[in-house]
Structure formats: C-alpha cells, structure tokens
Chain A
Amino acid sequence: MTATAAPPAPPTPPVTDAAVRKVPRRKRLVPYWLLLPGILWLLVFFALPMVYQASTSVQTGSLEKGFEVTWHFQTYWDALQEYYPQFVRSLLYAGTATVLCLLLGYPLAYLIAFKAGRWRNLLLVLVIAPFFTSFLIRTLAWKTILADDGAVVGALDTLRVLDVTSWLGWTADDRVLATPMAVVCGLTYNFLPFMILPLYTSLERIDGRLHEAAGDLYARPLTTLRKVTVPLSMPGIVSGTLLTFIPASGDYVNAELLGSTDTKMVGSVIQSQFLRVLDYPTAAALSFILMAVVLVVVTVYIRRSGTEDLV
C-alpha cells in the first residue's frame, strides 16, 4: 500500500555524460555496491525460482523415479482442462471481492479524508488496528459470525435474503458458511484495508475548494462526485483494485476456512498439488498460468484506466 503513498518523483536535474565522467571511478561505483546485495537477493530468491518453476512445469516423471525435463507442454493443457472451474472461480471471487471492497471502502475513505475533522487520526487507527491481530485468527472469527444458528444467518433468513441468494446460487440450504457468499465475504474483509489506504491517500490530496467550486456552479452532490471527486481519485482506485485483486486471486485461506469443496480456488489446488499430492509439474504449470492470467488482467486494466505512470 505504500507503493501508492509515495509522492510523485520530483524532477531530477539531468546528468550529462560530462558530469558523469568528472566523478572519480571509485565514486561512480557507489550505487552498484549499494544495490549489489539486495538485487542479488531478489535475483537468486525471486527471479531464479521463476526459472526453476518454468523448468519444473515441463518435466515429467514421478517422485520415486525422479523428474526430468522432457518439454512436456501437455501438462499445461491437462492442468487447464482439469482445473479451469477453479481458475474461473478464483477470478470471479477475486473480482467480486474487489468491487465490493471499492463500494464499501470508498465511503469510508471519503469520510476520513473530508468529514472526519479531529476524528481523522482515530478513524485511521481503527482501519489499521485490526491488522495487528493475525489475519488467520480474524478469518476464523467469521466462522463464529456466520455460524448456522448465529444472528447474521437468522436475520438474513427472517428478511428472506437467503431465499434470493440461494436462488442465485450464492448460498445453499439456509446456511452461509461453506458457500460462495462466505468466501467472498472473507476475501472482501481481508483485503479492505488494501483498498481503503490508497483511496484515502489520493482523496486526501484533493483540494476541498474544488467541491465548493462545483457546488457554486450548481452541480448536485452526485454530479460533483461523478465529475470531480472520482476522476481525481483515479490513481487511488487503480492501485486499490490492484492491491485487492492480485492477492485475492491467489488466496486459498478464505476458501479453505470459510468455504467447502465446491468453492475451492486455484490457490488451494496449487497448495495441495505441491504439498500433499506432490505432483510438482502440474502445480508449477498451474502457478505459471495463474501468474500469466494475473499479469494480463493487470496490464489490460492499467492500460484502460489510463494511469500508466502509476507503476
């Protein structure tokens, strides 16, 4: 989330070749020495693993006989055929959670940025504070909240909401736990702060006088929101959706803790293939496909939202 909190880079004076040449050689190497350990770390433990994973994904063999690179691209096709429901589900759940995060997060970010006054710091603390309890413990708490004989399910049932959601396929058998609704609820909850903080930083930078100006020009509040506030907060919306969608698409904690076998996401499949089934080629191929899909979705999204300078 700090990626977006960074203010735009101040213009740096152009460094000419002549100026570079004047610096003694020993000094010219300083940035490289500063970069070396950290970049080496990322190359060895981030970039190199990707290469290993690519090679694993085209291997065949078994755990007993050992794996060998045989350029067996068929694995990708087989994996996609077998697990495309989980893929589609992951993108669907992550997308829904992202939209919900935006709808829920925008008012709160707006409230903190413009209406909170002296309560602003307190509200910010309340947004960040839940973070400090381990997210697994908080996700487990949803099991209590959404319990079958709990207040939430009871209220939804009385209001006949469950009939509608069951008809839509979001819930089943008068319960919320172990249904898509519970998983999306957990995802939305877990990634809300990642939406709110970038939204807040970009809203906070908007000059409040622009709202007054819009009002003076007879814009109704909704028009002001649509034509002034939302366009100006676009960078926050874009980075917030990315920070929500990307981790949500690979998450398996919510699907495992709050869902059932019918709500498995692709993260669960990768996890079980790697750690339980020990079918490394399929697992590597799945994780590569997930990475590719996420990168494509993100690139298209950034292009279309017209804020390429963001990243």
Chain B
Amino acid sequence: MRWIRRNVVVVAGLLTLAYMILPNLVVMVFSFNKPKGRFNYAWQTFSLDAWKDPCGVADLCGSLTLSFQIAVWATIGATVLGTMIAFALVRYRFRARGAINSLIFLPMAMPEVVMAASLLTLFLNMGAELGFWTVLIAHIMFCLSFVVTAVKARVMSMDPKLEEAARDLYAGPVQTFVRVTLPIAAPGIAAGALLAFALSFDDFIITNFNAGSSVTFPMFVWGSAQRGTPVQINVIGTAMFAVAVLMVIGGQLVGNRRKKAATP
C-alpha cells in the first residue's frame, strides 16, 4: 500500500497506458477468431482462416488500395504546398502575414464535420462528381495546415548562418538550397509528410461526406459495422500495428548504430 502511495503517478500513468493499448490487444486477439454469424464481437474458437486469406472479403483490399493511393497523392500535394508556405512564412517578411497565419490555423481549429459539410456544399454547387478527385482535394486541404506547422517548427530552428556560409563559398542559390537548406529541413518535412499520410489514410468524416460511391478503407470499416464485420478487418488492423511498431524499432536501431558510428 505504501509503495502504491509513493508511486501513485507511475500506477496511474500505467493504467492510462493500459486503457490506450487494450483495444489494440482485443483487435489482435479477435483476428484469430472464428465468429458465428456476421459480427466478430464475441469469442468463439481459434482459427487462422482470416490470416491465410486477408483479401477474402469482397472490396476489402480494393478499399485498402484506394486509401493508399489517395494517401500517397495527398501526402505529396500537401507536403509540397505546405513546405513552400512554411518557408515563405519563416524566411520572409511581407504584408498579410497575420491573415495567412490564421488561414492556416483555422482548419485545425474547426470540427471536422463542419469542414466536411461545407466542402460538400461547394462540390454540390459546382456540380462536381464526388469520388477520387473530391476526396483527394479535401485531404490535401486538411493535411496542408499540419505540414506547414511541422515544417515551420524545423525551419525556425535552422541557423541561417549555414546558408550564408554556403554562399560565401560560392554556392549558387540552387546549390545552396539543394545541398544545405533541404537536408537541414528534411526531418521537419519528413515529419509533416508522415503526419499527412497518417491523417489521410485514417480520415473518415471528411471522406464520408465527399467520397460519393468510392469506398476507402475507413469507409469500408464503417459500412461493415452495420452489415457485419469480417475477421479480415482485425487482421489488417493488427498488421498495420505490427508494421508501425517494427518501423519504430528499426528506426531506433539504425539511429543507435549511427550514433555509435559518430562517436569515435
């Protein structure tokens, strides 16, 4: 009891962590289930069927591919546009900076459903056909602000003297940008791009409004919650989780090796 009282923060923190991880564990365990009926909510018997055949449900892998395509293009679009804005905001003084800053902040401070609904009214008024393109446009729009903030944070902490030094050593503007500026800003740009990819891949509300009859992966999961959830959804969820954890561990190992190599 005394130990608990002294370590109350540790206990409370770990309990919160358990609360956060619990659903992931449930998703993992239920990926080995063999459900009776259409819904995979109660444990029946152990089975590897779903793992053997992850694409065995109609439209599931098609929706994954669509989500992936949209996320890749949205990431490219948002990262390019966002990086340009971030550089302009940090490196230059000009009129209307305040207005532009609020224009970038607002999409992050708006309930998603409001943005989703207003975009839909725009598309309806324009008579645009809802589908791949409207979803892509919407995703680039809401990822943009996040990329700008991520890149801005990095560019702000950059030392402008490094670029001056490059110029003193007779590097042209292009050379300076490619050889000095870009490599230093790269972690910020990468963070922004990763965030954009994750946001786009997982977005449901904005896609729900603007996708028409296209079905992305989150929309497939949403639909399956009403029609019946195939075990394959748990398999995909578990695989995503595993890939992410492996990527983080791999990144850490590479980072450690680099650190070791850097210290003689």
Task: Please list the residues of chain A having a beta carbon within 8 angstroms of any beta carbon in chain B.
Answer: 2-3, 5-7, 9-10, 12, 15, 20, 30-32, 34-35, 37-39, 41-43, 45-50, 52-53, 56, 104-105, 107-112, 115, 121, 123, 125-127, 129-145, 147, 189, 192-193, 242, 246-247, 249-253, 257, 267, 270-271, 274-275, 280, 283-284, 287-288, 290-291, 294-295, 298, 311
Q: Report chain A residues within 8 Å CB of B27.
A: 133, 137-138, 141
Other-chain contact of A127, B20, B117, B121, B146 (Cβ < 8 Å): B20
Q: Report chain A residues within 8 Å CB of B182.
A: none
A-B contact pairs, 19 of them (CB 8 A): A2-B192, A6-B153, A10-B156, A34-B85, A38-B81, A45-B138, A56-B125, A104-B19, A107-B12, A108-B14, A130-B21, A133-B237, A134-B218, A134-B236, A139-B23, A193-B20, A253-B205, A270-B117, A290-B113
Distance A15 CA – B95 CA, assembled complex (angstroms): 12
In the complex, are the beta carbons of B122 and A52 less than 8 A apart?
yes
Query: Could you say which of B52-60, B104-112, B164-172 contacts chain A?
Result: B104-112
Task: Please list the residues of chain B having a beta carbon within 8 angstroms of any beta carbon in chain A.
Answer: 8-10, 12-14, 16-17, 19-24, 26-27, 30, 41-42, 81-82, 84-85, 87-89, 91-94, 100, 103-115, 117-122, 124-125, 137-138, 140-141, 144-146, 148-150, 152-153, 156-157, 191-192, 195, 198, 201-202, 204-205, 208-209, 217-218, 221-222, 225, 229, 233-234, 236-238, 240-241, 243-245, 248, 252
Distance A288 CA – B121 CA, assembled complex (angstroms): 12
Q: How far is the CB of A149 from chain B (nearest CB, A)?
A: 8
Distance A45 CA – B142 CA, assembled complex (angstroms): 9
Q: Report chain B residues within 8 Å CB of A53.
A: 117-118, 121-122
Q: Could you list 17 further interchain pairs (A-B, Cβ under 8 angstroms) beyond the known A56-B121, A132-B243? A: A2-B149, A15-B93, A31-B88, A32-B88, A45-B138, A46-B106, A46-B115, A52-B125, A115-B13, A126-B21, A134-B202, A141-B23, A143-B41, A145-B23, A192-B16, A242-B109, A267-B113
Instruction: Select from chain A the residue with minimum beta-carbon distance to B104.
Output: A42
- Report, nearest first, the 5 A-B pairs whose CB atoms are least far apart: A250-B111, A111-B13, A132-B244, A31-B92, A107-B12
Given A7-B156, A41-B140, the answer on whether A107 and B20 have CB atoms closer than 8 Å is no
In the complex, are the beta carbons of B156 and A48 less than 8 A apart?
no
In the complex, are the beta carbons of A144 and B208 less than 8 A apart?
no
The interface centre, meaning the residue of A9, A31, A135, A139 with most chain B CB atoms within 10 A of its CB, is A31
Distance A121 CA – B234 CA, assembled complex (angstroms): 27
In the complex, are the beta carbons of B122 and A45 less than 8 A apart?
yes
Q: Report chain B residues within 8 Å CB of A295.
A: 109
Distance A247 CA – B204 CA, assembled complex (angstroms): 13
In the complex, are the beta carbons of A253 and B82 less than 8 A apart?
no
Distance A91 CA – B172 CA, assembled complex (angstroms): 56
Given A35-B100, A45-B122, A49-B122, the answer on whether A267 and B20 have CB atoms closer than 8 Å is no
In the complex, are the beta carbons of B26 and A144 less than 8 A apart?
yes
Distance A126 CA – B21 CA, assembled complex (angstroms): 8
Given A105-B16, A132-B240, A134-B221, the answer on whether A249 and B111 have CB atoms closer than 8 Å is yes
Q: How far is the CB of B243 from chain A (nearest CB, A)?
A: 7
In the complex, are the beta carbons of B233 and A35 less than 8 A apart?
no
Distance A189 CA – B27 CA, assembled complex (angstroms): 15
Given A127-B17, A144-B42, the answer on whether A287 and B240 have CB atoms closer than 8 Å is no
Given A130-B20, A130-B23, the answer on whether A34 and B88 have CB atoms closer than 8 Å is yes
Q: Report chain A residues within 8 Å CB of B221.
A: 134, 136-137, 140
Distance A250 CA – B114 CA, assembled complex (angstroms): 8
Instruction: Select from chain A the residue with minimum beta-carbon distance to B105.
Output: A311
The interface centre, meaning the residue of A9, A130, A140, A142 with most chain B CB atoms within 10 A of its CB, is A140
In the complex, are the beta carbons of A136 and B13 less than 8 A apart?
no
Q: How far is the CB of A205 from chain B (nearest CB, A)?
A: 14
Instruction: Select from chain A the residue with minimum beta-carbon distance to B101.
Output: A311
Q: How far is the CB of A304 from chain B (nearest CB, A)?
A: 17
In the complex, are the beta carbons of B85 and A38 less than 8 A apart?
yes
In the complex, are the beta carbons of A123 and B17 less than 8 A apart?
yes
Q: How far is the CB of A133 from chain B (nearest CB, A)?
A: 4
In the complex, are the beta carbons of B104 and A246 less than 8 A apart?
no
In the complex, are the beta carbons of A133 and B42 less than 8 A apart?
no
Instruction: Select from chain B the residue with minimum beta-carbon distance to A20.
Output: B93
Distance A9 CA – B94 CA, assembled complex (angstroms): 17
In the complex, are the beta carbons of A145 and B241 less than 8 A apart?
no
Instruction: Select from chain B the residue with minimum beta-carbon distance to A243.
Output: B108
The interface centre, meaning the residue of A49, A105, A290 with most chain B CB atoms within 10 A of its CB, is A49
Instruction: Select from chain B the residue with minimum beta-carbon distance to A289.
Output: B114
The interface centre, meaning the residue of B21, B84, B137, B229 with most chain A CB atoms within 10 A of its CB, is B84
Q: Report chain B residues within 8 Å CB of A127.
A: 17, 20
In the complex, are the beta carbons of A134 and B237 less than 8 A apart?
yes
Distance A12 CA – B97 CA, assembled complex (angstroms): 14
In the complex, are the beta carbons of B122 and A136 less than 8 A apart?
no
